[in-house]
Structure formats: structure tokens, C-alpha cells
Structure 1
Amino acid sequence: MTRRIERALVTGGAGFVGSHLAELLLAEGSEVLVLDDFSTAAADTVAELRERPGVELVRHDVTRPITVPGRVDVVFHLASPASPPDYLRLPIETLRAGSLGTAHALDVAVRADARFVLASTSEVYGDPEVHPQPESYRGRVNPVGPRSVYDEAKRYAEALTAAYRRECGANTGIARLFNTYGPRMRAHDGRAVPTFIRQALAGEPLTVAGSGTQTRSLCYVDDTVRGLLALAKADLPGPVNLGNPEELTVRELAEEIRAAAGGSAGLTFVDAAEDDPRRRCPDITLARRELGWWPRVSLAEGLARTIRWFEPRREPTPEPSSVFW
């Protein structure tokens, strides 16, 4: 089934991924209602959204009930702190966004008879023992570690979404997003790509967490939001992995960014974060088969686009620098 989306609600729509999703929806001819409390949104992204025709931007905390007048065809629930410094700074808020926020967004979808799409995360797999990670893998998560506020918030959100599907007949889909990167990431959000780019452009050493042998798979943001839209237009309940199955080490990523950005300094190694996953790579067989989706933007091209976006926005690196991913 391919559904027509005349009006979409995007919670967390002023954030990095949410703003790109809103932009894609506009390009598809949809009206977009963006709900965001702006706690982790970049000011220039918010300002840009305000200027876009077809976007209604509303400040709202999703942990409070959501009232949406008029028609809604799809509810995309992205509202949550997503970078480690943010969710470590806002642990209770992160858990509430995953619990109360998901319930309130689901209630909107049920009342409007709308499709509901949850933006979950590869973090539900924790530090995996199965590689690459298929959707059937149940994960290996520390429920009381510092990262658990994000991991368990998303795991609960998935459970709640599945319960609404079973008990309320809600039309739901769950997407597990793997490491997404691209323009509009905040330079100091603590994740590897913006940190490495900022440091390389400043001619400073790139700070690599741990040994740098831990792996990640990076998906360019345009590909990620295409996947979310494909899931919205389908009836697949998921969960479905949306990520790039090309795996590389964090050290390799640092070296690639340094070369692409013209950096000349070396690498500096810092302590790894607690519960930092050693390997992370999606099995996207389901997304290919059911959604006809796979990443199209190569790492080289995606990094080039991201670096071009960061170049006029370069700024000095604060000390000390912490890197997560």
C-alpha cells in the first residue's frame, strides 16, 4: 500500500533528523506540523523552519498531552534527546520522552486514524553479540548504565508501540535508525562525525574514543529520512533496520574525515564511554525486501556534503573534547 500524506505531524521536527524529514515531506507536497520543545534543536534550524511555507512550528513538550486540530495522515515520533551529551544531561527528560511522549503521540495517531512511525534506534541492540544485527536479535543492554536512559527509553517506546498495535488496532511502524550523519548536526553535540569535522577544519588533533577499533556504520541523513517516509507509506509494522551495512572502525572514520577536510594534525586517544558498543552494523534485508529501500549516498559523498555545510560555520574546539558514538 502507498498512502497519500496530505498532512503530517513530526514530533522533534526541529532536530537534526526531524528537520530533514520535514523538508522531504514538503518536497512531496505535504503540510507539516512540527512539535518540538527546542531543548536540543539548533537555533539556525528552528529559524529556517519558521521561514518555510507549509510548516507550522509549535513549541510543545511531548510529555504533556498533544492536541492536534484537523486532519493528520501520519504521526512521526522523533522527539527525544539523541546525542549522548544531551541524554546524559537530560536523563529523566529522555525517559519521559520515550514513555509519556510516545503514549501521547500514539494517542494522536489513534484519534486521527493515522499511520504512526516510531524513530527507534540501533541502541536497542546495546553491545551486540550477533553481527550484523537483524531485527530478530533482542539485544544486550545494560539497564542501569549511564546510556540506559536512552537505550531503555527506546526499548520501552517500541514495546508501547507494539501494545497499541495489538490492543488498539493502531497502524504502527517501528524504524531502528543506525548512526545517521549530515548537515545540521550541531558542531558540539559530542558525536564522532561533527566532532572530527570541527577538529579537522580547525587543524586540531582528532580525539578518538577508546582504541578506535570499535566499528560503526554511517547512514547519510537523506537516506535515513527516505527510509522513514517509505515506512510511513507502507503497512509494515517492523521493527525494520534503516542504516548502512558498510562497516568501518572509528579510527578509519577519523582518518577519512581528516583527509576529506584537509586536516593536518594527528589523532589523540581518550577514554571510551561506558558501555560503548564494540561493533555496530545493520542487516537491512527486511528494508530492501519490504520497502525497496537501501542507502544510496556513499560515505565519501556524504562526508563531502557534510564538510561543505560545516566549513562556513567552523568554530574553535572547547577543551576538553568528549567524543561519543
Structure 2
Amino acid sequence: MTNATERDPRLLRDALGPLRDREQVAQRLLESSARHSFDPDRDLDWDAPIEDGKWFWPPELVSLYDTPLWRRMSEEQRMDLARHEAASLASLGIWFEIILIQLLVRHIYDKSVTSSHVRYALTEIADECRHSMMFARMIEKGGAPPYPVPRVHHNLARVLKTVSTTPGSFAATLLGEEILDWMQRLTFPDERIQTLVRGVTRIHVVEEARHVRYAREELRRQMVTAPRWERELTRISCGQAAQVFSACFVNPRVYTNAGLDRREAVAQVRASGHRREVMRAGARRLTDFLDDVGVLRGVGRGLWRRSGLLG
């Protein structure tokens, strides 16, 4: 008995087309990786002293910026909060990258080990390992503690990554990469920022650009070829992931460790129009893309709105 593609050569060509395109994209990304990859342990000066009078994160991206509490804080307090928030974001980045590594390993488990698509996935996994170590080293250098996400969200992520569909995995990849990428693109050219932090964010931006391309291409392909139930589940799981990500973006302990009243700080961040616009601006390129490929529909769109990342 023959299947439909064997009976009709045109169907076979249509079925192979996305796979050829997938291989071409992966080959280009592999070539880019060979030209523009970094070793943070060697390419950054970890022995250089912390620079007096420089920020660890752009003040406009600090959660309390332009709130009444921010206006009462001294410049020293503001810079200290920025240092803690940089550590919180780096901790969030490590958490997300460990999740993404697991999702990528699952994605390639049944695929040809000699394909360019799998080779690039393994290249990206290696990148993410270096990034996680780089972020951890930056936290330690800055003198702030690591900020793990709350236990409830840590465990919820176990469920999300376990039940995630293939397109859902790539949507989650983009969620974890694109908002931080937007902020880091504002950070690495900013001369007010610590040289080490600028170097870390530059490396991450350059290498994450390839990761975003890989995930976008695969998500677009998956949202066309996946069965309807998988697309619907992806919309819901992606919306839930957006809520978790938004809730974990800044650990509230940063306010206590910066000498502030945690409840007052959290309340002012929630009421801040500036903060709301920063988060939506950071997500806008991503949400435009997700809308274009059909992820932001139905219940999932409502979840994204409740996350605060979609206007």
C-alpha cells in the first residue's frame, strides 16, 4: 500500500519543501555562528574593577523609574536598585535558558542527527550554556545575590515544559529571548553602564539574534503544518507562559535588598504607566510576530492581555 505522497509526486515536493527550507535556514545560521561566536570567559575582562558612578542597568529600564518612590530615592539608592535588578534579570535569563535547552533537546530527539537543523540546535544549546555561565558570573561580579523565581512559578514551568507542543516550545523560546533582547539592545551601547555589563549584553544580543531567527522560522512552519489541536494548545500554553514570565520579570526581593519597602515598591510598579509601556514596548516586536503567525487568538490572546505584555 502506498501513501498519498508516493502516489502524487507534487504532494511529495510540497511535503519536502518546508524541510529543504528548514535545512537552508539552519545552514546559514551555522555559517553565521562560525563567524560571530564568543567565549565570554576569554572575551570579557572579568578581572577589571567595578567602575564607580556607572550603572548596572539603564535607569529608564529599572522597574521603579519615574514613580513617586523613585523621585524620593537618592542617586545611590537608584543605582543600587539597578544593580539588584540586573542580577534579577540575569537570574531569570538563566532559568529560562535552562528551560529552553530542555525544549530544544526534546525537539531534536527524533530527528536526523546529520541534519543541519539538528546541528544548529546543538550549536544553540552550546550558546545557551555559555550564556547561563556568563550571566551567573556577572551576578557574582556585581556583588548582588542570585534571584531564583518563586517556587510556584518554578514548578509551574515544570508542567509547561513537560506538556509543551513543538510550536509552543518555540513560542516560549521567543518569549524568553525577545523582551530581554530589546532591553539589552538599549544597554550595550549606553556609556553610562558598567563596561562588563555592556560586554555581556553585546555578546548576548549578537548570538541571540541567530536563536530568534531559528525559533521564528520554526514556529512559522509549525503553525502551518501542526494539527488544529496542537495549534490551539500552543495558543493557550503560550499565553500562560507570558503570564509566568511577566510575574517573574523582577523578583520583589530586590526592593528589600535595596533598602526599600517591598509592598510600597510593588504597588508603585504595578501602577506605573512608564513601566507598563516599557514592558509592552519590549514585547511589541514579538507580539506583532505571534499575531502574524496565528498564535495570539482566542483564549491565548486574553491571557497575553492579562500578562500586561499586550496592549
Normalising by structure 2, we get a TM-score of 0.28
The structure with more radius of gyration: 2
Of Structure 1 and Structure 2, which has the larger fraction of its residues in helix?
2
Return the structure number with greater relative CO, CA threshold 8 A, min gap 6: 2
